[in-house]
Amino acid sequence: MGSSKEHKSNKKRKPEEAERTLDDPSTSDPITKDQSRKKEKRKSSSKSTSDEPKEKKNKKDKKRRKDSEGKAKDVHKDESRDTEIAAPDGLQRFPDFSQDPSASTESILKAAQLGIPQWLAHPTTVERDVTVPISDGRFALSSQILSRCAKAGVESLFAVQSAVIPALRAAHALARLRQHVRDLCVSAPTGSGKTLAFVIPIVEKLRSRLVTRLRALVVLPTKDLAHQVKECFAFFCVGTSLRVGLAAGDVPMAKEQASLVSEEAGYLDGDSSLVDILVCTPGRLYDHLTMTKGFTLQHLEFWVMDEADRLLNEANEEWLSKVHTAIEQESLSGNSSNIYTPASSNASTMRRADLQLDPLVQPPPRIQKLLFSATLTGDPAKLARLKLVNPLYIAVTSDEDGDLSGPAAKYTFPSTLSEYFSICPEEKKPLWLMYMLWSRIVGRGICFTKSLETAHRLAQLMQAWTDGVPSDEWPEGRRIVIAEYSSEVSFTERTRLLRLFKEGNIDLLICSDLIARGLDIDQIETVVNYDAPTDMSQYTHRVGRTARAGKNGSAYTLVGVTQAHHFKTMMLDNGHWGPMLKRFDPRNKIMDALRDQYKVALEKVGSLYAE
Ligand SMILES: Nc1ncnc2c1ncn2[C@@H]1O[C@H](COP(=O)(O)OP(=O)(O)OP(=O)(O)O)[C@@H](O)[C@H]1O
């Protein structure tokens, strides 16, 4: 894990080749032709900045002058309120995250007109480069968690963690006073540490539980991500008796069932659960709710949806209503014939109608839903399906983001990311990629293509090229190693490839969008968009595989001539067209030298298909 010191000291890397900014008048590409059409739009967005009231500007300046280590307390306090509420259980004071009462009537009306709920239109914001020492009292972390953090190299908490952890710790304290626990929606850039923002407080809350019951459900869209998050939980649970399970479909159903539920316990009141925390994919969760005897959500306290917008986009949404039904049925009818006794170890968390009517029994904490994403959906209809209760929206943003109800706020990028694009004739893209590899513009990285088919063919071509050039002809005498990494490759093979990549034995993984989301590989220095992403969310997640945890990284997008107009419009519409995105063009001299190698590689692959 990157340390917070790294986080602060990074500088952006420049590519070796000549750069031209987009507003360079000498540029004569299809993109710039479109500039005048959009001028009006940009004018209006810059106007809003210059017309800003002085007071608001001063506030922003003050924010900018933050000292992330020492004064971070001020940074993610809701600026409209100076009040802090005292934690009832001896925790340190924590910020009051209640809704912003100062939201202007105008912005309230604007949000209402667009059908955006107030909580979504007025997030509590946190500056993206803030870090807070882990020992800060507001986190109230136990020595067990602190020692795991130390082991992981976590000395400071990143912005998203410094906002979410106190909010959750506060909610836990309030839950004990039978107050309502608010659901949480969190939007923070890629690589900003969202995983630990929920792992740490969940482990902290559950570590003192007495018996094993399924209390935290963490849903992720893919098997690969589920594995990654399971590993993270397992690491932070060392030293506790908490058990972490995985249901991602990589082992046969029966084996997975046996790892989650014990047959011996008799399937009552969730006492057959073998895990406290379950990390799963939607498909397997659905299967277990349907088919696994004794699998119950009766004791659930946390329901995390990581990469929430992708989960809400799942073609098959049945899993969502299945979970809601499971929760609701269990709380209405009870799922058990067990007789309740106050001494029962289950009593404090069991969600059963007969218990809830008993005035002597403290109600169980309600299930807190926690949504995380780098590109949280603003679609009210989709969010409504989650049945959120009094949600709190925390957004990690940058000073440049401006209007938080605008699109730029939806897509915040790591400050350590350098972004480049090139307009490239479609048929020359392989040559362009060879150039970038040969001239070492692309360090260790991943290359995204639009489809499995393209990934496969490109990997073949690049491998034919690298195999065909003798080792001593390569720059620095080192041949580049390229591998295909896609859903066509088996999960076991993907695991092996990732290991080789992490060990430095593979330089470039060519893939479809399989790993565009969430995958955390420390060693990725460069992302290449061989095919330009078609929407901003896809762009954000792809480039977000680099520049993680405060490390430097670069992203290069090869924009086909026919896609240039769409690419520029997409960037403009999302406030991402400007100095942050630089143009690069290959140097002809090197390209000329590579042309022959390219021809040889093409012939070699052509003969493969002819056979
Ligand atoms: N406080 C911290 N100090 C040092 N490293 C950290 C800290 N928090 C997280 N990291 C590291 O930062 C990396 C990125 O974290 P994580 O995968 O949680 O990002 P993310 O916000 O979920 O990104 P994405 O949106 O792409 O999924 C991980 O390698 C993690 O171990």
- ipTM rounded to 2 decimals: 0.99
Q: How far is CA 82 from the centre of its chain?
A: 31
Residue whose entry in the numeric block shows the structure tokens 């070699």: 604
Q: What kind and span of H or E run contains 185?
A: strand 184-187
pLDDT of residue 225: 93
Tell me the mean pLDDT in the region 111-123: 74
Q: Is the pLDDT assigned to residue 39 strictly greater than 70?
A: no
Tell me the mean pLDDT in the region 421-436: 94
Q: Is the pLDDT assigned to residue 53 strictly greater than 50?
A: no
pLDDT of residue 571: 95
Q: Is the pLDDT assigned to residue 582 strictly greater than 90?
A: yes
- DSSP helix/strand/coil, 528: strand
pLDDT of residue 453: 92
Tell me the mean pLDDT in the region 259-266: 79
pTM comes to 0.78
500 CA → ligand 1 middle, Å: 21
- Answer with the residue of higher pLDDT: 383 or 163: 163
Best residue among 3, 131, 136, 194 to mutate for probing ligand 1, ranked by most atoms within 8 Å of CB: 194
Q: What confidence category does residue 342 fall into, taking pLDDT thresholds of 50, 70 and 90?
A: very low
Residues with CB under 6 A from ligand 1: 1-4, 153-154, 156-158, 161, 188, 190-196, 374, 518, 520, 522, 544, 548-549
Considering only CA atoms, give the Rg of the chain: 26
Q: Is the pLDDT assigned to residue 353 strictly greater than 90?
A: no
C-alpha span between 480 and 473 (Å, rounded): 11
Contact residues for 132 (Cβ-Cβ < 8 A; gap 6+): 68, 69, 72, 73, 139, 156, 157, 162
Q: How far is CA 460 from CA 374, 453, 481, 500, in A?
A: 33, 11, 12, 19
pLDDT of residue 108: 61
452 CA → ligand 1 middle, Å: 28
Token pair, residue 426, equals 């479609």
> Given the CA of residue 374, which atom of ligand 1 is nearest to it?
25
C-alpha span between 426 and 152 (Å, rounded): 44
C-alpha span between 109 and 116 (Å, rounded): 10
Q: Is the pLDDT assigned to residue 68 strictly greater than 90?
A: no
pLDDT of residue 589: 83
> Given the CA of residue 195, which atom of ligand 1 is nearest to it?
18
C-alpha span between 366 and 355 (Å, rounded): 14
pLDDT of residue 31: 36
Q: What confidence category does residue 384 fall into, taking pLDDT thresholds of 50, 70 and 90?
A: confident
580 CA → ligand 1 middle, Å: 23
518 CA → ligand 1 middle, Å: 10
Tell me the mean pLDDT in the region 265-291: 85
pLDDT of residue 487: 83
pLDDT of residue 67: 37
Best residue among 520, 538, 539, 552 to mutate for probing ligand 1, ranked by most atoms within 8 Å of CB: 520
Q: Is the pLDDT assigned to residue 85 strictly greater than 60?
A: no
Tell me the mean pLDDT in the region 90-115: 51
Paired with 185 in beta bridges are: 371, 393
393 CA → ligand 1 middle, Å: 20
pLDDT of residue 52: 40
Paired with 556 in beta bridges are: 420, 528
Read out DSSP for 200-230?
Answer: HHHHHHHTT-SS----EEEE-SSHHHHHHHH
Question: 579: left (phi > 0), else alpha (psi -120 to 50), else beta?
Answer: alpha
pLDDT of residue 23: 34
512 CA → ligand 1 middle, Å: 23
